[in-house]
Amino acid sequence: MSQVVNLQEVAQQLRAAYRAGPIDPISSSVGQSEVAAAYEIQLINTLFFQEQGRQVIGKKIGLTSLSVQKQLGVDQPDFGVLFSDMQIADKGSVQIKDLIQPKIEGEIAIAFSVDMNVLPNSLSELVEAIAWIAPALEIVDSRIRDWKIGIVDTVADNASSALFVVGPHTKPEGVNVVACAMTLEENGQLASLGQGAACLGSPYIAAHWLVEKMIELGQPIRAGEIVLTGALGPMVKVQKGAKYELNIEGVGACSVGFE
């Protein structure tokens, strides 16, 4: 029972940090390798926010870079929840004062045309179930001071999520999501460069992992839910007053500004 109380307390500390500012790493109290407990903390806060009226509209996949996995000592990605109030319109703007220590990265968003109750046997079967793909900007943030995060910290903190932008939708047919080049510009200057292969070898591999994970948890991805598949290149520290424009070859472009 004491552990349950402890997880509730940690969840409350993370919620408070959204307004009060960052806290020390929670892994020191929860345990460096207690990933299951971290997901329990994430779920506690997801349910709390839903009770407050927030609506879940999808999932985000994190830790899709092998170098970042190695850095955090893990061998698989993680996931967090997307709420409707986290979505910013394409070409919209964000009040930077509402964030703590934001960074931005370019990725591919997808949505399925059917509920993903059964794991596809292959990536081609997975692609057949995709309704659309789109360029997406994820604005990540951390409630943990100075981004000093381990796997437990980021999972509990809703995979270090904050906001996101989804650009115009396109069909997946004919798009090479592995070889596609990604550029992220800050005020017209190149800030990050990458390609689809940087996301676990393919954004579809990341999506397949999430489909399997959510089936295991008894929470299958529903038709129309947004899935952010993971970064295609290095994240960039957000600068006040800057505009960020993402372009993904064959997928499209989107942008956001910070006031």
Q: pLDDT tens-digit profile of 31-52?
A: 766 899 999 999 999 999 999 9
Give the per-residue pLDDT at 146: 95
**pLDDT (tens digit per residue) in 165-183:** 999 999 999 999 999 999 9
Q: What is the pLDDT of residue 70?
A: 81
Q: What is the pLDDT of residue 1?
A: 33
Give the tokens for residue 168.
Answer: 């115009």
Q: Rounded to two decimals, what is the model's pTM?
A: 0.95
Which among 77, 249, 94 has a CA at the least distance from the CA of 179? 249
Instruction: Render 97-165 in DSSP notation, one character per residue.
Output: GG-SS-EEEEEEEEEESS---S--SSHHHHHHTEEEEEEEEEEE--SBGGG---HHHHHHTGGGEEEEE
Q: Give the pLDDT score at 51.
A: 98
SS3 230: strand
Q: Judge contact between 245 and 91, C-beta under 8 A.
A: no
Instruction: For the chain, give the percent of residues with pLDDT over 70.
Output: 97
The pLDDT, as a whole number, for residue 137 is: 98
pLDDT in tens, 84-143: 999 999 999 999 999 999 999 999 999 999 999 999 999 999 999 999 999 999 999 999
What's the mean pLDDT in 146-153? 93
Mean pLDDT of 188-200: 97
**pLDDT at site 64:** 94
| Helix, strand, coil percentages, rounded to 5, for the chain | 35, 30, 35
Predicted confidence at residue 25, as pLDDT, reads 95
Q: How many CB atoms lie within 10 A of CB 29?
A: 14
Q: Coil, helix or strand for 39? A: helix
Give, in words, the CATH class of 2-258. alpha beta
- Per-residue tokens: 90: 């394409």
Q: Tell me: the pLDDT tens digits for 53-79? A: 999 999 999 999 887 888 777 888 999
The C-alpha atoms of residue 1 and residue 165 are separated, in whole angstroms, by 40
- The per-residue pLDDT for 29 is 83
Q: Indicate if the pLDDT at residue 2 is higher than 80.
A: no
> Which band of pLDDT confidence, cut at 50, 70 and 90, is reported for residue 5?
very low
- Asked if the model's pLDDT at residue 4 lies above 80, the reply is no
Distance CA 200, CA 228 (A): 13
Q: How sure is the predictor about 256, in pLDDT bands with cuts at 50, 70 and 90?
A: very high
Which residue is it, tokens 């309704």? 131
pLDDT band at 153 (very low <50, low <70, confident <90, very high): very high
Which pLDDT value is given to residue 220?
98
Domain extent listing, the chain: 2-258
Tokens 């057949």 label which residue? 128
Query: What is the chain's mean pLDDT, rounded?
Result: 94
Confidence label for 30 from pLDDT (cuts 50, 70 and 90): confident
